[in-house]
Structure 1
Amino acid sequence: MIKVRNLSFGFADKTLFDEAEFSVGSGQKVALVGANGVGKTTLFNLLLKKELPITGDIEVLGEIGFVPQEIKRDLEMEEANFIRNYLDPKHKNEDFQLKKMLSGLELGDLDLSDNPKVLSGGQKTKLALCRALLTEPDLLLLDEPTNFMDIEGKRWVMDFLSRYNKTLILISHDISLMDEAINRVLYINQNTKKIEEYKGNYSKFLKLKKEKEDLAQRHLLVQQKQIKRMEAGVIRLFKNKSKKGVHQRVILQRRVERLKQGLPETPSEIRQIKFTLPEPSKVGELPLKAFSISKSFNHLKVFKDLNFSIIRGERIAFLGPNGSGKSTLIKVLNGILEPDSGEVKRDINLKIGYYSQEFVSFDLKKTLLDSLIDESSLPSTQARSFLGRFNFLGEKVFQKVATLSGGEKTRLAIALLTSKDYNLLILDEPTTYLDVMSQRIILDALKEYKGTMIVVSHTEEFISELKPDKAFLMPEGRMVFWSDELLHRVSKI
């Protein structure tokens, strides 16, 4: 199905693959894993021939179906005025065939004449999956398919992929999905630039990888002790000035050098991001108030006559299934969208820090450094140091935002949030694209934040640990005091 030999590829300042090799057989379901920015999405682009290798061969047999990571930046979806035009641009299928496929993906309530722009992130992901499946692909590539899914959507994807009987390669940070739906792991080793193959699901991969690393570490310690003993022998032989002693010393020194050259390279430590959120600036008792706000897109009503107030210092979780209007409401509160009717009153001292799952605030043409300087007004030297806390080091700060991976864009967005003393954070899926360790670091920082916070997340563990004071339930448009029982209602609200 797939054979990759001696693959080398990288960008001007970074090597991603160095003579990497792997193969994928027909019917295998594979997880592609590795740290943020290590080249997972780039490998997909190489398989799709969107990028060409510097050296090496890539052989892929059959038709490929692809669902991209940043589905909300899918230009074909953005330019399609109707769902039908996006799903079937060459009009090869009858309407009933498209409706049947949509129904199978739990999108049966959508009309083929609807504009895909108004759909939620989870609905757009399902729509992209529908389009990919219509081509009847031999190989399905999914890049973070559950990123914008609610709990019910994630369960649906898990069940769908468990039953899927063709070849699949999946990029995901969803451990449950990778344990349930896959039977093989390809691991991109950022130290060796190779691709390692493991049999089994993600949990088995972690176990096997740790055993392999522990064995390599024990072997390294044995070799280091042997070298130390031999070096001590060389020192002792310096006292023996005879020809035989000199000869033995030279031979022993050569053996030491050969052993040192054969030592495996010690893996460089994977740096984790490190930050705290600044003390929020002062703001009034009611930073934000909504009076009878309504919003629609064409004939689609998103919400109507919402009334609520946000009290200073509160943590509020916006809960509801995909398509219930959470992200749209956040954009109205933030002033990105205007309500059709009603009013949002903001305190005169309100400073909103906004994290969007769509990265709408990014200028993709700017460098990382320019983005931070423009946001924070920090001098260049301080800005570079600041970005270093988020593992953007060296020449990386001069990279264009457009070239970043999803996880790197998330880290940049969090960096921008911490560069000012915002007194209201509005966070729309803040852990999207991040590895598990980075998710934990961000959660710990948010737990310590003293300001007001509005959070949208479909990750039960994240919401639970954040300990909200209240929940705003969509689509009902109701503010309630927090209870852990709400976690079990997330997909049913």
Structure 2
Amino acid sequence: MIVTSDLEVRVGARTLLTAPGQQLRVQPGDRIGLVGRNGAGKTTTMRILAGEAEPYAGAVTRSGTVGYLPQDSREGNIEVTARERVLSARGLDKIQSAMERQQEIMETTADDNRRDTAIRKYSRLEEQYHTLGGYEAASEAARICDALGLPARILDQQLKTLSGGQRRRVELAQILFAASAGSGKSATTLLLDEPTNHLDADSITWLREFLNRHEGGLIMISHDVDLLEAVCNKIWFLDAVRGEADVYNMGWKKYLDARATDEARRRRERANAEKKASALKKQAAKLGAKATKAAAAKQMLARAEKMIESTDEIRRSDKVAHITFPEPAPCGKTPMNATGLTKMYGSLEVFAGVDLAIDRGSRVVVLGFNGAGKTTLLKLLAGVERTDGEGGIVSGHGLKIGYFAQEHDTIDPEATVWENTVRACPDAGAQDLRGLLGAFMFSGDQLEQPAGTLSGGEKTRLALAALVSSRANVLLLDEPTNNLDPVSREQVLNALGTYTGAVVLVTHDPGAVEALDPERVIVLPDGTEDLWSDEYMEIVELA
């Protein structure tokens, strides 16, 4: 259970949210959708509810266990295996490791006393292991992982060998395993920020069923409206204009209807009040011309102002980022040519011998199951990582690369919004950069805000802003629509459709593929190249 008291959330001088009294509270059985446009404060509020950050004012009281999945998961020890990371949710990883050490001693030592000591320790550890669910729990963890697209072969790999999407699914699996009592039911309060990022269609279906069975509280940030509709029985809407939260004790569709009805009421009442106030002001103007009626005129004006103030404020339309990709710099016929690209993690081969020629204005989609190496391939093309073996990248005449990283790796979280933009666009003038950032909805005090405090959607907008000023003629885009609200997503899709340079796109978003209208497809891990056909859209939807 989580209860807030007179909560106030700020970033710098900007107030994101005021929630008087105990307006925001999560109880067992509450499945809350936390919604609002990018930058409204959803991620910041979630971090405060999870205890990862402090509110500007007020307090948050938590009782019971909280499972928090941040939007940008940062794992601890990446040397451990995925299985160990998931089992650590119940402390089973350490017990299992200790059991294996004692078993090794029992099998190898020639010292009888040492063997007897190891047998006693092993027995105590095994008893503790059984008490915590033991082998049944390990099997349960494996089932959760498999449902999230993490098969057994992945579980025995170290986290450092996994893709960003796989590592995020490991974090989600760990949280759901901790909250699960064998059937998905527990008193844990789950705080999930964009939990469907990197999940395929089957995994999203399984997650929806899991969350519907969950008996503890749930707050979920998601731009997946189908998931919100299927799971949530309450909606918290963060109004970016008013800096307030509206609480709706209803599901998604009823919330949309209620909000539309509320908007219509506000406009109707406001129009009536303005009409009556206008009549009063006209009458006051007539009376004001006479000295003897000045006091009455003043009263009429005051009454007119009060009439307007007493009505609920009409919600102004949210600002929209004006996202366009750059006018590409001139280049040769083939600005980039990749040959024999290979990536290994120790003895594990991700892919090998991938060839790809990027001609001027070409449009390529990279497909493959999660973990096939799609993000890794883009990193090699961007020069962020180096190929293993003798392959490499040949830069053609005039090549200018614009790279959008899925995990926002191109953004320095310690630097401000302004500092990140200057570093990305060193040749641009200050006034031009301010205009650019303004088009992407960054202005005023936000320019001095540390980039690490931005929401996922805001980080996406910041990274895209850097691309606009780059004049890149080859864009490498890794999930560019992740974390974006519907309006911002449409802006990105429109930008994709009108950009005249070359694009290499990794995405789970069928709309992004349709907007790109690709000519070719690279299927990993085999590196097979083919002409695009609509048959490949099924892979996009299921990948």
Q: Tell whether the structures are fold-level matches, with TM greater than 0.5.
A: yes
Q: For 1:134 and 1:104, locate their aligned partners in 2 and report how far apart those are by CA, in whole Å.
A: 7
Structure 1 residues 58 and 286, CA gap change in structure 2 (3 angstroms): same
* Structure 1 residues 250 and 15: alpha-carbon distance in aligned structure 2, compared to 1, 3 A threshold: closer
AA at the equivalent of 1:371:
N
1:128 aligns with 2:171: yes
2:419 to 361, 367, 370: 370
Q: What is the deviation of 1:34?
A: 1.0
Q: Which position in structure 2 is the counterpart of 1:102?
A: 142
Query: Is the 1:276–1:445 contact (alpha carbons within 8 Å) kept by the matching residues of 2?
Result: yes
Residues 226 and 96 (structure 1), Cα distance of their counterparts in 2 relative to 1, 3 Å cut: same
Aligned residue runs from structure 1 range 449-460, under 5 A: 449-460=499-510
Would the alpha carbon gap of residues 480 and 230 (structure 1) be closer, same or farther in structure 2, given more than 3 Å must change? same
Percent identity reads 30
Question: Residue in 1 aligned with 2:338?
Answer: 290
> Greater CA deviation, 353-362 or 373-382?
373-382
Identify the match of residue 325 of structure 1 among 362, 373, 378.
373
Assess, with a 3 A threshold, how the Cα gap between structure 1 residues 206 and 121 changes in structure 2: closer, same or farther.
farther
Whether the 8 Å CA contact 1:283–1:312 is kept in 2: the answer is: yes
Distance 1:387 1:53 in 2: 27
SS in 2 for 1:105: helix
Q: Check conservation: 1:227, 1:259, Cα contact below 8 A.
A: yes
Alignment TM-score, normalising by the size of structure 1:
0.92
The amino acid of 1:288's aligned partner reads M
2:26 to 24, 27, 46: 24
- 1:328-343 correspondence to structure 2 within 5 Å: 328-343=376-391
Aligned: 1:353 with 2:355:
no
Give the structure-2-normalised TM-score.
Answer: 0.84
Change in Cα spacing, 1:15 to 1:80, as seen in structure 2 (3 Å) is: farther
Encode CA deviations 1:373-416: one digit per residue, 9 max, x unaligned.
22222122221122111110112112222221111110010000
CA distance in 2, matches of 1:335, 1:258: 63
Mapped to 2, the partners of 1:388 and 1:250 lie a distance apart of: 42
Counterpart of 1:379 in structure 2: which amino acid?
A: G
Q: 1:316 to 1:156 in 2, by over 3 A?
A: farther
- Per the alignment, do residues 239 and 292 of structure 1 end up closer, same or farther by CA in structure 2, a change over 3 Å counting? closer
Q: Output the CA distance in 2 between the equivalents of 1:468 and 1:289.
A: 18
Contact map agreement 2:212 2:231 (CA 8 A) in 1: yes
- Once the two structures are TM-superposed, the CA of residue 332 in structure 1 deviates from its matched residue by 1.5
1:111 deviates by 5.5
Cα distance per residue 1:81-112 (max 9 Å; x no partner): 33344334443654663343122331242465
- Are residue 12 (structure 1) and residue 12 (structure 2) matched? yes
Q: Is 1:309–2:309 an aligned residue pair? A: no
- Give the superposition deviation at 1:36: 1.1
Provide structure 1 residue ranges, at least 5 long, that are not aligned to the other structure: none
Question: Does structure 2 conserve the Cα–Cα contact (< 8 Å) formed by 1:369 and 1:380?
Answer: no
Deviation at 1:422, TM superposition (A): 0.7
Q: CA deviation at 1:199?
A: 3.4
Alignment-mate amino acid for residue 211 of structure 2: L
Is it true that 1:262 corresponds to 2:302 in the alignment? no
Distance 2:143 2:530 in 1: 33
Given that residues 321 and 490 in structure 1 are in contact (C-alpha distance below 8 angstroms), is that contact kept between their aligned partners in structure 2?
no
Structure 2 counterpart SS, 1:192: coil
Q: Give 1:247 deviation, angstroms.
A: 5.8
The equivalent position to 1:379 in structure 2, one of 429, 436, 442, is: 429
1:17 touches 1:194 (CA, 8 Å); kept in 2? yes
1:430 corresponds in structure 2 to: 480
Letter in 2 for 1:124: R
Give distance in 2, aligned partners of 1:140 and 1:178: 15
Give the whole-Å Cα distance in 1 for the aligned partners of 2:517 and 2:56: 49
Moved more, 271-280 or 438-447: 271-280
Q: CA 1:291–1:227 in structure 2 vs 1: closer, same or farther (change >3 Å)?
A: same
CA contact (8 A) 2:87 2:141 kept: no
Instruction: Work out whether 1:118 is the aligned partner of 2:117.
Output: no
Change (3 A) 1:233 1:492: closer
After TM superposition, the structure 1 stretch with the greater mean CA deviation from structure 2, 438-447 or 200-209, is: 200-209
Deviation of the 1:441 alpha carbon: 0.7
Partner of 2:113: none
Matches within 5 A, 1:276-287: 276-287=324-335
Q: Which residue of 1 aligns with 2:221?
A: 171
Question: Are residues 338 and 441 of structure 1, via their aligned partners in 2, closer, same or farther at CA, if it must alter by over 3 Å?
Answer: same
For the 8 Å contact 2:4–2:25, the answer to whether it is kept is yes
What is the deviation of 1:22?
2.2
* Structure 1 segment 223-262 matched on structure 2, within 5 A: 223-238=273-288, 245=293, 248-262=296-310
Q: How many residues are treated as equivalent by the alignment?
A: 488
Query: How big is the shift at 1:246?
Result: 5.3
CA distance in 1, matches of 2:294, 2:14: 46
Decide whether aligned partners of structure 1 residues 325 and 15 sit closer, same or farther in structure 2, where only a CA change above 3 A counts.
same
Distance 2:45 2:225 in 1: 21
Q: 2-side partners of 1:416 and 1:247: how far apart?
A: 59
Q: Do the aligned residues in 2 keep the contact of 1:315 with 1:469 (CA within 8 Å)?
A: yes
RMSD of aligned residue pairs (Cα, Å): 2.3
Asked if 1 retains the 8 angstrom alpha-carbon contact of 2:400 and 2:472, the reply is yes
Bigger mean CA deviation after superposition, 101-110 or 395-404 = 101-110
8 A Cα contact 1:80 1:86, kept in partner? no
CA distance 1:420–1:246, change in 2 (3 Å): closer
Moved more, 452-461 or 330-339: 330-339
CA distance in 2, matches of 1:278, 1:134: 44
Q: Which of the two has greater helix per residue?
A: 2
Residues 203-253 of structure 1 deviation map (CA, whole Å, 9 limit, x = unaligned): 3322221211111011001000010111122123335665xx556445433
Is 2:493–2:511's contact at 8 Å kept on the other side of the alignment? no
Which amino acid in 2 is paired with 1:24? V
Give 1:454 deviation, angstroms: 0.5
Output the CA distance in 2 between the equivalents of 1:151 and 1:470: 24
Alignment CA distance shift 1:238-1:297 (3 Å) = same
Name the amino acid aligned to 1:103: R
CA separation of 1:82/1:373 partners in 2, compared to 1, >3 Å: closer, same or farther?
Answer: same
SS where residue 362 of structure 1 aligns? coil
1:408 equivalent to 2:407? Answer no
Residue 476 of structure 1 pairs with residue 526 of structure 2: yes
Equivalent in 34, 37, 40 of residue 38 of structure 1: 40
CA distance, structure 1, for counterparts of residue 524 and residue 472 of structure 2: 26
Map 1:73-112 → 2, pairs under 5 A: 74-76=74-76, 78-89=77-88, 90=91, 91=94, 94=134, 97-106=137-146, 107-110=150-153, 112=155
Cα deviation code 1:309-346 (max 9, x no counterpart): 22221111111221111111111222222222242323
> Of 199, 213, 219, which residue of structure 1 is paired with 2:263?
213
* 8 Å Cα contact 1:464-1:484 kept in structure 2: no
Give the alignment of 1:153-164 within 5 angstroms: 153-164=203-214
Alpha carbons of structure 1 residues 488 and 85: separation in structure 2 relative to 1, 3 Å: closer
Distance in 2 between the 1:326 and 1:123 partners? 12
Residue 201 of structure 1: how far off its partner (Å): 3.2
- For 1:446, the equivalent position in structure 2 comes to 496
